[in-house]
């Protein structure tokens, strides 16, 4: 449990910011007053910023700007910022308890489940989100149901079941109805989105604000932050964290938020282009399974617009190049997790220090079929030949 | 590069501590004067402890007590201590750059390679050590050759090759001759052991000392530390770190070091039982591939004896129970990495705070064949039945 008290005061509609709600219960289906059958607006958490003491926002003080942390944690956050080259930093989120950024979110969403006394949590996920939710549920003694697609990869199933999650492979078209039913009638707390456009859990993006606090503590405010983007929760949370630092007088500006989506489906690019709060697009083939998304959410639009940022579409070739560049620098990230660097290399702004958030470990991708290993006798002539073939002269 | 200067002064034989050597070059084949064809003695790094300033040993000051860090790092260390239950802490080393404790070691060994101007590094490894060496070599622009067994698992090959390593699958009996030849004649710097009993790299265990510093900073000196043990480098490094804290007047004792070896081959248990500096044992079947070892090294004997500790053998059933217990608490560790908790649960000392070091991520194990997923229509009756079968009543 956190020793510093949360200063969260309530929830506010992002569809109409004049509309406020109490902090409890968390509105897991977005803002009821402004949402329609076409577009759902999320709610956001408000804080009593006037009560934040002066001085640097050190990690021991983060809980004041988070929802009440009723759930026990697993040591999430505090990830390193690794300098890739002068002025280009990587925020390596694979160093979290389940080796992705999702742990920061699920500390907050499972805290909401504990806070409302839910008998368990339910999540629709293709991997990282589900495993992270399952880990935090396990840590707090709650069952977790993960609704996957009809044929989840074996390593995803192993990962989810390790934490004791119940894995339900459901046909795609039944995914959201099942999710909503388990939440509405079963009473399990939903920690992923249940709405027509993405709203997600109101407490979720709050957990990502600490990424901004940590970056700021190490290097101040960068010029831009490049982020792998699916539904835009990470994007919004990091933006909100920087916006709070500015509001508290600890920073004089926010960085440009650069959302990096798979080109196979880039709903935020489309929403920004067409000027709508959220868009729905066709989904093409991509290996970036963790961030490919048919639909966006209004949070992404807010973060990009408010920061003077951009949304970029990166194709699988760019993702693979970025993934290889990172691994050859010592950091092996999931293909989806390389989207930030892919965006930077694809022509993002380069002036001043920039941060690429690398969200997850390379172990999250399916094991590819790599070139076969040579059959080796182990005789020296044999070893020497293999090394020469690899360019190492001995 | 570290900003605090290393206070390392030289190398000292662990076979006869009156025998000293200069710091450079690192003696990667152990102490030449005391080693024989039967037993090899490692060397240890000496420091000018009198020049360590008074006051707490905070992370910014760690480099003074490490070998010169000529190699760029990847943000290794600084891992969280997670409280499993009152008085039982887990030091989660899966939060390192390649998701195992080996990164602390390889920051130091690859620094040695950079320091001597080696054209590359070579390592014999079944997984974690090799991938970590490959990552640090990549980070520092050096090629890395990894000598594996004849049929490495696909996920290990993918992991190693991601960092650009050259993977040479060599028959078991040719492994050490090939390793020595690549080191001696090829000039590649060996970052794993090349000797008849284990000596390893003299700079390697130094990197593990920071685990002790970090634990001490958070909870003081625990009663005991339980560690997965293969060659005993982690065991020795953590012990040495605590011994240094005592020497510097920052702690009044060292914890009991409890080495936890797979029962299928427990050479340190045998060495301590028979009173020899290192033992060779038969190897039975075990899934703890990362720590099963035919031969031990003298460092393990020193750490256990000097701390009043013990070596325990844990079988695969105990390892699986500990792995499940950890995962159901939210931390999914490699089977080998659960050996510390397995040792504690098997009847280790329980008085006072104890720390179990969990060395690595569950992703490092081969993907097991788990129970098949149910075929689901996604109709509610179907979902409801599956959830009831899992004990969740909706």
What pLDDT digit, counting tens, does each position of A54-84 carry? Answer: 999 999 999 999 999 999 999 999 999 999 9
Alpha carbons B191 and B195: distance in angstroms, whole number: 12
User: A317 in contact with B at a CB cutoff of 8 Å?
Assistant: no
Going by DSSP bridges, is the β-strand pair B8-13/A354-358 parallel, antiparallel, or unpaired?
Answer: unpaired
Same domain membership, residue A359 and residue A239 = yes
Task: Give the pLDDT score at B349.
Answer: 64
User: A1 in contact with B at a CB cutoff of 8 Å?
Assistant: no
C-alpha pair distances (Å), B89 with each of B218, B224, B340, B353, B356:
11, 11, 11, 8, 6
**Residue-wise pLDDT tens digits, A134-185:** 999 999 999 999 999 998 988 899 999 999 999 999 998 898 899 999 999 8
From the list B81, B330, B377, which residue is nearest A163 (CB)?
B330
Same domain membership, residue B315 and residue B214 = yes
Same domain membership, residue B124 and residue B15 = no
Alpha carbons A271 and A143: distance in angstroms, whole number: 36
Contact B378 A177 (CB under 8 A): yes
Task: Give the pLDDT score at A1.
Answer: 45
In a domain, A209, yes or no: yes
From the list A136, A157, A378, which residue is nearest B170 (CB)?
A378
Task: Give the pLDDT score at B1.
Answer: 45
Mean of pLDDT over chain A: 95
Chain A residues within 8 A of B162 when measuring between CB atoms = 327, 332, 362
Task: Give the pLDDT score at B104.
Answer: 98
Min Cα separation A181/chain B (Å): 8
In a domain, B142, yes or no: yes
Contact A187 B394 (CB under 8 A): yes
In a domain, B259, yes or no: yes
Task: Say which residues have a Cβ less than 8 Å from residue A320's Cβ, sequence separation at least 6.
Answer: A335, A338
Note which residues in 326-385 of chain B have CB less than 8 A from chain A: 327-332, 361-363, 367-368, 370, 373-380, 383
Lookup result for tokens 């970052």: B191
DSSP B182: H
From the list A157, A332, A379, which residue is nearest B370 (CB)?
A157
Residue A274: pLDDT band (50, 70, 90) is very high
Task: List B310's β-bridge partners, or say none.
Answer: B258
Q: Of B258, B262, B266, which is closest to residue B234 (Cα–Cα)? A: B258
Q: Of A174, A154, A165, A170, which is closest to residue A129 (Cα–Cα)? A: A165
Can you read off the two tokens belonging to residue B261? 């070896």
C-alpha pair distances (Å), B375 with each of A154, A169, B122, B195, B393:
15, 7, 48, 54, 20
Task: Say which residues have a Cβ less than 8 Å from residue A203's Cβ, sequence separation at least 6.
Answer: A26, A45, A67, A108, A109, A111, A112
Task: Give the pLDDT score at B294.
Answer: 95
Task: Give the pLDDT score at A116.
Answer: 98
Give phi and psi for B127, each to the nearest 5.
170, -90
Task: Give the pLDDT score at A394.
Answer: 72
Same domain membership, residue B106 and residue B95 = no
Task: List A298's β-bridge partners, or say none.
Answer: none
Contact A166 B99 (CB under 8 A): no
Per the structure, the count of domains in chain A is 3
Same domain membership, residue B228 and residue B339 = yes
Task: List B355's β-bridge partners, or say none.
Answer: B89, B225
Task: Say which residues have a Cβ less than 8 Å from residue A343's Cβ, sequence separation at least 6.
Answer: A226, A258, A260, A312, A314, A356
**Residue-wise pLDDT tens digits, A302-313:** 999 999 999 999
In a domain, A230, yes or no: yes
In a domain, A94, yes or no: yes
| Three-state DSSP state, A37 | coil
Same domain membership, residue B315 and residue B231 = yes
Confirm if A139 and A72 have CB atoms less than 8 A apart: yes
Note which residues in 172-201 of chain B have CB less than 8 A from chain A: 173-175, 177-178, 181-182, 185-188
Same domain membership, residue B332 and residue B271 = yes
Note which residues in 97-126 of chain B have CB less than 8 A from chain A: 97-99, 119-120
Min Cα separation A155/chain B (Å): 6
Same domain membership, residue B358 and residue B262 = yes
Locate the chain B residue with the closest alpha carbon to A162.
Answer: B327
Task: Give the pLDDT score at B302.
Answer: 98
Same domain membership, residue B348 and residue B245 = yes
**Got the DSSP string for A85-146?**
ETTEEEEEGGGSTTSBTHHHHHHHHHHHHHHHT-S-EEEE-SSHHHHHHHHHHHHTT--EEE
Q: Is the preceding omega at residue B97 within 30 degrees of 0, hence cis?
A: no
**Residue-wise pLDDT tens digits, A186-244:** 899 999 999 999 999 999 999 999 999 999 999 999 999 999 999 999 999 999 999 99
**Residue-wise pLDDT tens digits, A251-261:** 999 999 999 99
Same domain membership, residue B219 and residue B354 = yes
**Residue-wise pLDDT tens digits, B249-273:** 999 999 999 999 999 999 999 999 9
In a domain, A394, yes or no: no
Can you read off the two tokens belonging to residue B143? 């090629």
More confident residue, A3 or B7: B7
User: What range defines the domain where residue B173 resides?
Assistant: 102-190
From the list A327, A390, A394, which residue is nearest B186 (CB)?
A394
From the list A95, A159, A186, which residue is nearest B95 (CB)?
A95
From the list B157, B163, B181, which residue is nearest A327 (CB)?
B163
Task: Give the pLDDT score at B348.
Answer: 66
Chain A residues within 8 A of B368 when measuring between CB atoms = 158
Looking at this predicted complex, what is its ipTM?
0.96
**Residue-wise pLDDT tens digits, B298-326:** 999 999 999 999 999 999 999 999 999 99
**How remote is the C-alpha of A288 from its chain's centroid?**
14
In a domain, B382, yes or no: no
Can you read off the two tokens belonging to residue A256? 């440009």
Same domain membership, residue A297 and residue A214 = yes
Min Cα separation A305/chain B (Å): 33
Task: Give the pLDDT score at B153.
Answer: 87
From the list A150, A367, A374, which residue is nearest B154 (CB)?
A367
Task: Give the pLDDT score at B366.
Answer: 87
Residue A352: pLDDT band (50, 70, 90) is confident
In a domain, A39, yes or no: yes
Confirm if B45 and B202 have CB atoms less than 8 A apart: yes
Contact A159 B97 (CB under 8 A): no
Once rounded to an integer, what is the mean pLDDT over residues A366-388? 86
C-alpha pair distances (Å), A126 with each of A106, B155, B174, B354:
15, 20, 43, 37
Per residue of chain B (394 residues), give pLDDT as tens.
457 899 999 999 999 999 999 999 999 999 999 999 999 999 999 999 999 999 999 999 999 999 999 999 999 999 999 999 999 999 999 999 999 999 999 999 999 999 999 999 999 998 899 999 999 999 999 999 999 999 898 889 999 999 999 999 999 889 889 999 999 988 999 999 999 999 999 999 999 999 999 999 999 999 999 999 999 999 999 999 999 999 999 999 999 999 999 999 999 999 999 999 999 999 999 999 999 999 999 999 999 999 999 999 999 999 999 999 999 999 999 999 999 999 999 986 678 899 999 999 999 998 877 788 888 988 888 888 998 988 888 7
Q: What CATH number does residue B235 fall under? A: 3.40.50.1100
Note which residues in 260-299 of chain B have CB less than 8 A from chain A: none
Confirm if A161 and A241 have CB atoms less than 8 A apart: no
Same domain membership, residue B181 and residue B118 = yes
Residue A348: pLDDT band (50, 70, 90) is low
Integer Rg of chain B from CA: 21
């Amino acid at each position: 449990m956190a020793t510093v008290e949360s200063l969260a005061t309530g929830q506010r509609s992002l569809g109409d910011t004049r509309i406020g709600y109490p902090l409890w219960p968390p509105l897991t289906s977005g803002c009821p007053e402004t949402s329609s059958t076409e577009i759902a607006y999320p709610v956001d958490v408000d804080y009593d910023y006037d009560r934040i003491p002066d001085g640097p926002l050190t990690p021991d003080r983060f809980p004041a700007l988070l929802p009440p942390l009723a759930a026990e944690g697993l040591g999430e956050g505090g990830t390193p910022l690794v300098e890739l080259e002068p002025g280009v930093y990587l925020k390596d989120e694979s160093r979290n308890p389940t080796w992705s950024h999702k742990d920061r979110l699920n500390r907050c969403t499972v805290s909401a489940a504990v806070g409302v006394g839910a008998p368990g949590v339910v999540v629709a996920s293709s991997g990282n989100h589900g495993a992270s939710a399952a880990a935090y549920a396990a840590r707090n003694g709650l069952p977790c149901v993960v609704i996957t697609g009809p044929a989840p990869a074996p390593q995803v199933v192993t990962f989810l079941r390790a934490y004791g999650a119940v894995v339900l492979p459901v046909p795609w078209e039944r995914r959201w109805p099942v999710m909503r039913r388990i939440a509405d009638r079963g009473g399990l707390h939903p920690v992923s989105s249940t709405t027509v456009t993405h709203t997600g859990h109101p407490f979720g993006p709050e957990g990502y604000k600490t990424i901004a606090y940590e970056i700021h503590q190490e290097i101040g405010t960068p010029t831009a932050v490049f982020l792998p983007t699916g539904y835009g929760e990470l994007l919004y949370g990091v933006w909100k964290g920087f916006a709070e630092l500015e509001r508290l007088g600890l920073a004089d500006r926010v960085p440009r938020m650069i959302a990096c989506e798979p080109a196979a489906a880039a709903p935020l690019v489309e929403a920004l282009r067409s000027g709508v709060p959220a868009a729905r697009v066709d989904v093409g083939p991509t290996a970036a399974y963790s961030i490919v998304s048919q639909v966006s959410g209004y949070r992404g639009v807010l973060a990009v617009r408010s920061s003077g940022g951009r949304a970029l579409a990166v194709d699988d070739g760019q993702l693979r190049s970025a993934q290889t560049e990172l691994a050859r620098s010592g950091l092996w990230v999931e293909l989806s997790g390389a989207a930030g660097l892919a965006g930077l290399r694809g022509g993002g702004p380069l002036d001043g220090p920039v941060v690429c958030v690398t969200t997850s470990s390379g172990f999250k991708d399916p094991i590819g079929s790599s070139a076969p290993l040579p059959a080796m006798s182990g005789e020296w002539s044999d070893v020497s030949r293999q090394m020469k073939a690899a360019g190492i002269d001995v």
